[in-house]
Amino acid sequence: MIKVQTPEPFDPLMQEPLLPPKGHYSASKLERVLRAGHFAVTSELNPPDSADPRDVLKAAEPLIEVADGINATDASGANCHMSSMGICSLLSRAGQGVVFQISCRDRNRIAIQGDVLGAAAMGVGAVLCLTGDGVGVGDQPGAKAVFDFDSISLLRTLKTMRDEGVFLSGRKLSTPPKIFLGAAENPCVEPLEWRADRLEKKVEAGADFIQTNYIFDVDRFERFMEKVRARGLHKKVFILAGVGPLASAKAARWMRTNVPGIHIPDSVIERLENADNPGREGKEICIELVKKMRRINGVAGVHIMAYRREHMVNEIIEESGVLKDRL
């Protein structure tokens, strides 16, 4: 296979910004990898509660060798951390491929459209559009939620900015943002019969890639993918299956009960409960899931989530061997 060329670090003093290759929307590494037909890997960098840039760069170190896109989370769980924009600025200046997450919870349409222009000017090529968790689940429940958009209306707006070169108001942009648009999906939660419908709406709204929530039930996910293939959606959007290591049976039970959109079968929890080393077993389960996802028709990659355990993402990808075909 041809080696995917990674763009040089973005230099804001260049006369011209990085241009997308022919047939691409952006110059992002993630889009290049996916359109080259490689099995892609993305992961989340969980922002520090810090204003020190070194904390960000240290957390990103384990991801650099294995991730085609590093997601900068945007106050996930409605908890305040360093901003997604700040993380993207630091990592793009360091030459890393990033995914700019936008939660509709915290900003209105004026702020969001401006943020996207600013991110694109920094060389950020991939944007993930999220509705966002309600403020009631976070550590500052008295905050005022915005929700001027949801994920689908946000996708439509950014697609309009990119493809038609205008703001939502209709005012013309002198230089449209060159961005690869993404969205999230929960394929394994009820009502299952609506999940492919929801995905199709996001594709129609402008999604170029999808990162799913955690998948621990492969049979349920495969049924979802059957519906996706029946509609031909796997030919219209790149689907990255979400996986992650579980630390223990207790942690798995807590996630299943308290985190929206998470389905963990009893068999997975029992396996962790019976393991001599639950942490190692959780990692092995994740490695097995990565390998299984690669064999499912229509899955273009994996999105690995390991809260505050970025080093484990590196180990999981290396031990799974899914990058061995990269030359």
* Tokens found for residue 116: 């996207």
Residue 11 scores a pLDDT above 80: no
Does residue 52 belong to any structural domain of this protein? yes
Give mean pLDDT, residues 112-136.
94
Q: Give residue 16's pLDDT.
A: 60
The Cα 113–Cα 182 span in angstroms is 16
When comparing pLDDT for 10 and 303, which is higher? 303
The Cα 107–Cα 74 span in angstroms is 11
The Cα 47–Cα 89 span in angstroms is 13
Q: Give residue 2's pLDDT.
A: 40
pLDDT tier for residue 5 given thresholds of 50, 70 and 90: low
Residue 303 scores a pLDDT above 60: yes
CB atoms within 10 A of CB 326: 14
Residue 62 scores a pLDDT above 50: yes
Give mean pLDDT, residues 250-261.
90
Instruction: Look at residue 72 and give its three-state secondary structure.
Output: strand
Does residue 20 belong to any structural domain of this protein? no
The Cα 142–Cα 185 span in angstroms is 28
Does residue 24 belong to any structural domain of this protein? no
Our CA dihedral for 165, 171, 174, 179, rounded to 10 degrees, sits at: -40
Does residue 121 belong to any structural domain of this protein? yes
The domain that holds 193 is classified in CATH as 3.20.20.220
| Span of 12-16, 52-56, 73-77, 229-233 with lowest mean pLDDT | 12-16
Does residue 185 belong to any structural domain of this protein? yes
DSSP class of residue 47 equals: P
Residue 43 scores a pLDDT above 60: yes
**Tally of domains within the chain:** 1
Does residue 16 belong to any structural domain of this protein? no
Does residue 2 belong to any structural domain of this protein? no
Q: Give residue 325's pLDDT.
A: 80
What pLDDT digit, counting tens, does each position of 188-226 carry? 988 888 999 999 999 999 999 999 999 999 999 999 999
Which structural domain range is residue 119 located in?
A: 29-320
Does residue 17 belong to any structural domain of this protein? no
Residue 6 scores a pLDDT above 70: no
What pTM did the predictor assign? 0.93
Q: What does the mean pLDDT of the chain come to?
A: 92
Q: Give residue 14's pLDDT.
A: 53
Residue 15 scores a pLDDT above 80: no
